Amino acid sequence: MKKKFIKVLCSVALSCMICTSYLAKVSAAPINNTKIKSNEINTSVDSRNKSERMPSTNSEPLGLNAKNTNSSKYSFSDLNKLSNKEILDLTSKIKWNDISDLFKYNDDSYAFYSNRERVQALIDGLYEKASTYTSTDDKGIDTLVEILRSGFYLGFYNDSLKYLNDRSFQDKCIPAMLAIENNKNFKLGEKGQDTVINALGKLIGNASCNAEVVNKTVPILEQYYREMNTYPKDKLKGDAVYNFMKEINYDISQYSYDNHIQDGKNTPWTGKIDSFINAISKFANIPDVTENNGWIINNGIYYTSKLSMYHSNPSIPHSVIDNCLKLLPAYSEQFYTAVERIKEDFNSKDSKGNAIDIDKLLEDGKKHYLPKTYTFDNGKMIIKAGDKVEESKIQRLYWASKEVKSQFHRIIGNDKPLEGGNADDVLTMVIYNSPKEYKLNRTLYGYSVDNGGIYIEGIGTFFTYERIPEESIYSLEELFRHEFTHYLQGRYLVPGLFNEGDFYKGNSGRITWFEEGSAEFFAGSTRTSVLPRKSMVGGLSENPKERFSADKILHSKYDDGWEFYKYGYAFSDYMYNNNKKLFSDLVSTMKNNDVKGYENLIENASKDPNVNKSYQDYMEKLVDNYNNYTIPLVSDDYMKKYSNKSLNEIKSDIESTMNLANSQITKESSQYFDTYTLKTNYTLDSNKGEIDNWNCMNNKVNESLEKLNKLGWGGYKTVTAYFSNPKVNSHNQVGYNIVFHGLLAHNKNFNEAPIIKLDFPKEANTDEKIKFSSEGSTDDGKIVSYSWDFGDNTTSSEKNPIHIYKNPGTYTVKLTITDDKGLKAEKTSSITINKVLKGNIVSEKEDNNDFTTANPVYLKDLVNGSVSSSDNKDTFYFTVTKPSDITITVEKINKDKSEFNWLLFNDEDKSNYIAFPNKELGNQLSNTVKIDKPGKYYLVIYKTLGEKADYRFNIEGDISASPKDDTDKDELVISEKEDNNSFDKANRVCKNQSVIATLDTNDPRDTYYFDALTAGNIEVTMENTDNNSNEFNWLAYSSDNTNNYIGYATKREGNKIIGNFKVDKPGRYYIVAYKTSSNKINYKLNIKGDIDNVPKNDEIYEKESNDSFETANKIMLNATVLGNLNGKDVRDIYSFDIKEAKDLDIKLNNLNNLGLAWNLYKESDLTNYIAYGSKLGNTIAGNCHVTSGKYYLYVYKYSGNNGNYSLIIK
């Protein structure tokens, strides 16, 4: 039985179905570096690969403006200082991942969990929260559950906390689980509900459950079954349902295992959870499989099968699985999931006891998905492939294997199998058409598909799939090269089978870094050397501090994630180029099965500062030269027909290149061609030491290949060669075995690929007509189609198309040509599209070195300027008129080595930049910035290198087109209304309003309020309209705290006092104006910022009391309603009539950061709501289809004190 606690915070569905062989070597294309749809829910796995690096700008943004982000974390050390109540309160305010050492065993976590009273208090706290969570507020249950799960996890692995692994203690969570289920909000709906349901499922898996807990989850399963088509891509709801299936099954299975129960009888659940199993089985029999529901059908099949033994009548769920074979599409993943379960759980029999020929079904599946078989080298290499894997690619894989083999044997120094009679005497490759079809490998062959490819040494076979760039950063050939290296490692380098030999005993990850890192390294093999792989170098961090140290990589294992593949590659490449002695010594210990010697080498190298420094320096060199690298793949020379040449002629030519004699040449037959292998010996004149000898032989063999290239026969461009098995004779001379391999002749099965000639300019401009030509392309038959991909999501089937690029950038253009026999050839090349800056020429005006003297910029301006040693910064401003994308492009004009950069600032925060260039194309630095809030923005251009940099720039997007567009809307002047001397009597001030008012001895204070729509900067101006010396002032307050002011006037400009302050959230704020002298003062007050607009004529204010359906306010569609909720008035209800069927769009705008929600009811059923709103920022929005009748909108608050809202129904 697998261990119960696996530290996986985001499970992959069906992970428990994956059967991983103990003889498996996982490939270099891990799932997290591919974009493969998860079984769990239909979303793409996030990829952080850097297959294409973003060009860096010429300098870092100004350090003094660096953003200061608050990344406060808690640790168990912090939690240990809190009381139980404080911890429970904290869970409502933080996320579980704010606790840095959750699930980690250390002194602080031990101190936390060893306190039984504390853990019990947390469980009791969960019980209390369980009855109070709402549809929109999980009350911190998710965080609290993760804290408890962390304890149970640590209790499983650490004896010092083993009381937490006692089922009787874990059962203490059951009352809290039941309380969660008994809460009226226990149903799929809003985020708060879905989060709690998810947490419950996870808690069951780490704690325990009983039959009552299980059966109370049934309504959730049934609700999802009914409604899943309404939220097919809602991951949170999908996870919630999946967690119930998985974790309940897990707990029941664990109990059965611990109590040695194999037949499902006599458990606390036996015969008591039929409704739960029946609910799951409904998912198994969904007949229409789609991209969105395939995962839930798979899980329905799996868990119906696994839980069937606990049913009161096991034949009922068994018959459900039988029915899957009739109901589900033949050959589908779901069909074979059912086949797998019948085989594993029902001994290959149906529910009536009849035998099912599972082997035939599996063979049928293999024939369906892998109909093509190709043989090479007299049957020593076999490739089974899908019908969409191109035959030319199959041939290229064969030639790739020869390139990898030649470099592997050169470096390893051995080409004699370590053991004879193993399965790898014949190498078999299985290649599916796609990642989707590869999923079937789990059932058809029984091996994991949670990877990009896998080699099974015990059967001499590896499995992978064809892929497109959107599905993986690695090509099929790259993956093949990696897996083929694993085959070579097992056959020629590491004694014993994978995970069985001495090198795996006591430490199964001892050589993991070497096996995977060197497999990535040898994947870069060519005919003459091993080259850096761009796809690998791109995965190295650009930040040296984030890169692996030598010590870290030399001890990396599979448990450490996938990053070590790239750093293991870099270390192998470093050894090959800069430390061959270490490479050779490591290889020697493996070949000699010297585990102790290997460990000594690793220990010494990991502690050697010189090794680490050299490794770090080498990685820096790789990263710096990233753009100079390619991805080594076999050349087109392998795919061409050549005139015939006899074996004797080839033998003579090869011998002449190195003065060889007594060589033996043999012919091998493959499906498309015949090849030859020539073997001989070569002795060096002198023994100069291991490394010098190797270098000498490497040069001689490469010189031989170069001489063959010059002999004129094209077939010599397919020759690979290696030297191995060095031996020193009695004269201290070193002798090597040498092997040459190459193409002899193609046979009638071979169809030569079309030869493509690609012709177009390397550079062009946006909006320019560019001619692309394929003239000169040829084929040995007839070309029947042309397919152009211009790299900008546009294509053409013309022979010589014309194309226009709209956006600047470097694009990869691909032409695919197909001949009359269906053989395709493709060729790619890049084109750089430059942006021509256009506009009305405007010159900068000095002095514009700071924000106060910034030059204005308008739409269609093309601004020319310069920065220099004496004038190193220019500042410009522009006004964004509406939320939109703004593109800023600054181009250097002069051709010298001077450099500059730019930063973008918001007028409301001139201390922190909001953007800088993220694209560098030629002499242009640009970025497209999403601006959410209209207003003034500043562009700062500054010099970073050289004496002077001349530039020009333009700004595209929704910005002011002329100075008149920058002026505010006509200001509306209003008068104050007395009495407004207190907060509760404050006058309202809106956007573009100025208030005229008076202060005197009888009225020394006026109070105003405004509603801020977003967090941001507020500017208040108070003007003495009499222009005399009378003194006055103002203070700003938040409605959350009217005892302490948050803003005040900070500067005086003539008869005005002005101040700026920040509001950190939307809501209501107050301005208190007061006089400080004895005289009467007439003044004008103005408030600027993102505040509420003046109410429109069609706005409606709620009328109390409207707290029940009977007293509901009647409203009209498309009219804005303004309302207020407070401690005594927690709900407002509105009614409206619908005359005909239509779709409603309901938006509730939260003006004061209350916890707001709404439900919609139809008059015919006031018990069950028909729609609800989802929180989107400060808006609670939703839509629903309604028919004619009367409806009620129920608005309520669940947190906060006093606040306002607006709503509109359209």
Q: How far apart are CA 802 and CA 806, in angstroms?
A: 13
Q: How far apart are CA 545 and CA 554, in angstroms?
A: 17
| Residue-by-residue DSSP string for 681-731 | EEE-SS---HHHHHHHHHHHHHHHHHHHHTTS-GGGGG-EEEEEEEEE-TT
Closest by Cα among 233, 247, 320, 240 to 284: 320
Quick check: 1071 and 1036 in contact, CB under 8 A? yes
Which pair of tokens denotes residue 878?
Answer: 């522009």
> Any catalytic annotation for residue 500?
no
Q: How far apart are CA 112 and CA 33, in angstroms?
A: 37
Please, what's the largest Cα pairwise distance for the chain?
A: 121
Alpha helices in 543-579 (DSSP H): 550-553, 563-578
Give kind and range of the element (H or E) at residue 337: helix 333-345
Q: How far apart are CA 991 and CA 272, in angstroms?
A: 64
CA dihedral sign of residues 613, 619, 620, 622: positive
Which pair of tokens denotes residue 803?
Answer: 């194309």
Active-site residue, from 457, 477, 483, 563:
483
Quick check: 195 and 236 in contact, CB under 8 A? yes
How long, in residues, is the chain? Answer: 1210
The β-bridge partners of 463 are 430, 454
Q: How far apart are CA 331 and CA 334, in angstroms?
A: 8
Closest by Cα among 1180, 1171, 1176 to 1149: 1180
CA distances from 459 to 423, 490, 1189 (A): 5, 12, 70
Strands of the sheet containing 899-906, edge to edge, are 855-856, 873-880, 935-945, 899-906, 909-915
Determine whether 840 is exposed, middle or buried from the number of CB atoms within 10 Å of its CB (0-12, 13-18, 19+): exposed
Quick check: 1132 and 1106 in contact, CB under 8 A? yes
Q: How far apart are CA 835 and CA 765, in angstroms?
A: 6
Quick check: 668 and 377 in contact, CB under 8 A? yes
Q: Which residues contact 107 (CB under 8 A, 6 or more apart)?
A: none
Closest by Cα among 1204, 1095, 1192, 1108 to 1148: 1204
The β-bridge partners of 874 are 941
Which pair of tokens denotes residue 547?
Answer: 């890169």
Closest by Cα among 246, 252, 240, 245 to 210: 252
Which residue numbers are catalytic? 483
